[in-house]
Amino acid sequence: MAERLREASGFEYIVVADEDGIRHSHPVEDAIGQPSSIDASSVLAYSEWTGVERGLPDSHSGRGHPYGARTAR
């Protein structure tokens, strides 16, 4: 799914993480299965997140979008 979205959007990469913040796609293979470094609370509240990430090898802008069905916790 992430690769199809990346190709359609023209983005360099797309990171997908679950509601626990565990990455399921990432441009650095060793980061897959690891926790995300962003505070995803706004995305989990079904709001967008926009910010700047640092660490892959340079700073880059990022955006988070909620995707999927809401589930009761």
CA distances from 43 to 6, 50, 68, 69 (A): 19, 10, 11, 13
Q: What is the pLDDT of residue 73?
A: 47
- Report helix, strand or coil for 2: helix
Q: Identify the three-state secondary structure at position 43.
A: helix
Q: What is the pLDDT at residue 1? A: 77
pLDDT tens digit sequence for 15-62: 888 888 898 888 888 989 999 877 778 777 877 777 666 665 554 555
**CATH tag, 2-64:** 3.30.450.20
Q: Name residues whose C-beta falls within 8 Å of residue 41's C-beta, 6 or more positions apart in sequence.
A: none
State if pTM tops 0.75. no
